[in-house]
Homo-oligomer: A and B are copies of this chain.
């Protein structure tokens, strides 16, 4: 009868040790979001496929998890549908799916609640999403996204605030070895104009994005295949090799973009964002104007940014940008927004690799009360109640057991203190307190103990 249970590919359990660390990260981010005026939103895991499909491209559509209609799901089908194959049958037997990201459900929420929302609307959302991707190291089929967005305003203060959030989150996590790359889709458009390949914008960006990986020469080769002249390649090369501060680089670009209205607009927006950052007293040492940054260009229309660790090889840990038309696909035009997304799994792995998780965790039981016999149990329960009434996280070993077993329990659970309660201690009113880390023992009354732990 008994079966050996297993987990679906690409899914994970988070046991207590992992959960405490994940909560440490998520609680930090959540508290910063709140401090900056973002409010929580949750949307269901299940969405109608009519909401999800067509929003993520063909590839995305294929990665949607589809939920079989309940009851007789073949009711509306015919043998002919079956013969046509899975692709034809699927929409007739599955009308709902699991959400693929937090953005499309957010757009749906905004459209459905437009009458009640006060704009600008600042929301954060921390929930799992699902993708039927091929699982591999660091890529899961069910994973959390952690997003904050402001919609309903084009103000670049929002961009600066999101950068300030990045700074505050990583400062609070004691994670300082990172770099923020910032640019704008409009800068890329300016570069394409400069190279006289505005009609091949996407191809141009794809090639430029490879600069880090394949180097200047091969990028030049590829750009020439899409029609960039050698003269323009020279101009581009010189521009991209500009050094200096962000302000200096923006100045050099301004000269080169003199004929590109969109390019200049992008530079103005970057300058204004840097101004706002100064106003917000955010140090910009780690924020670098990187004109080759090309991410999310199918939806981002303005400023874009990404955060990567500098001392370890981890990829992007946070990213975002401005989009012009969040809700257009649902018939509500003109809603501009800007967002940021923290990659929880990679932040977790980074803190782990850099040994940055705090040694103590305030979510763990502070003290275990031993249990040696029925006689001392009632007394021990009274001590437990007293400690808890002082808001101390405390527990009792629920059954009489050998000391070693109980110490082992405390040790494995990371409980810092064990209080010995036996008949001798009850009589004297002085209890032995063992510090599990140092092994030190001291005697104390319950009141003294409560003060020590509070």
| A residues lining the B interface (CB < 8 Å) | 1-8, 11-16, 19-20, 23, 34-37, 39-48, 50-51, 62-63, 65-68, 70-75, 79, 82-83, 85-86, 89-90, 93-94, 96, 98, 108-109, 111-113, 116, 118, 120, 122-123, 128, 130, 132, 141-142, 150, 153-155, 157-158, 160-161, 164, 168, 275-276, 278-282, 328-331, 363-365, 368, 377-382, 384-385, 388, 391-399, 408-409, 412-413
Please state the number of chain copies in the assembly.
2
* B398:A279 contact, CB within 8 angstroms: no
Given known contacts A67-B66, A123-B16, A331-B2, A45 and B48 CB-to-CB distance under 8 angstroms: no
From B2, B164, B279, B391, contact of A378 by CB (8 A): B279
> Are B395 and A122 in contact (CB-based, < 8 A)?
yes
Distance to closest chain B CB from A60 (angstroms): 13
A157 B8 Cβ-Cβ under 8 A: no
Q: Contacts A35-B388, A281-B382 given; indicate if A398 touches B158 (C-beta within 8 A).
A: yes
Can you pick out 22 interface pairs between chain A and chain B where the beta carbons lie within 8 Å of each other? A3-B330, A7-B47, A13-B41, A14-B41, A16-B39, A20-B40, A35-B392, A37-B365, A37-B368, A37-B394, A45-B128, A45-B142, A65-B68, A74-B82, A74-B85, A74-B89, A120-B398, A153-B398, A157-B381, A168-B388, A275-B378, A276-B377
Q: How far is the CB of A154 from chain B (nearest CB, A)?
A: 8
Instruction: Check A112 against B70 for contact (C-beta < 8 Å).
Output: no
CB < 8 Å neighbour of A408 from B118, B365, B412: B118
The chain B residue with its CB closest to the CB of A413 is: B118
Contact A66 B65, beta carbon cutoff 8 Å: no
CA distance A72 to B8 in the complex (A): 18
9 further A-B contacts with Cβ under 8 Å, apart from A120-B398, A160-B381, are A8-B96, A19-B39, A23-B40, A34-B393, A37-B395, A45-B130, A46-B141, A118-B413, A276-B378
Contact check, A7 vs B40: say whether CB atoms are below 8 A apart: no
Tell me, in angstroms, the Cα distance from A86 to B73 when the chains sit together: 6
Q: Interface centre among A67, A83, A118, A409, by most B CB within 10 Å?
A: A67
Q: Complex formed: what's the CA distance from A164 to B387 in Å? A: 14
Please determine whether A8 and B70 come into contact, CB atoms closer than 8 angstroms: no
Could you tell me if A409 and B118 are in contact, using CB atoms closer than 8 angstroms?
Answer: yes
A384/B280 in contact, CB under 8 A? yes
Complex interface: chain B residues within 8 A of A377 (CB): 157, 276, 279
Asked if A65 and B74 make an inter-chain contact with CB atoms under 8 angstroms apart, the answer reads no
Q: Could you tell me the distance between the alpha carbons of A278 and B384 in the complex, rounded to whole angstroms?
A: 12
Chain B residues whose C-beta falls within 8 Å of the C-beta of A35 in the assembled complex: 388, 391-394
| A155-B398 Cα distance, complex, nearest whole Å | 6
Report the Cα distance A393→B34, complex, angstroms. Answer: 7
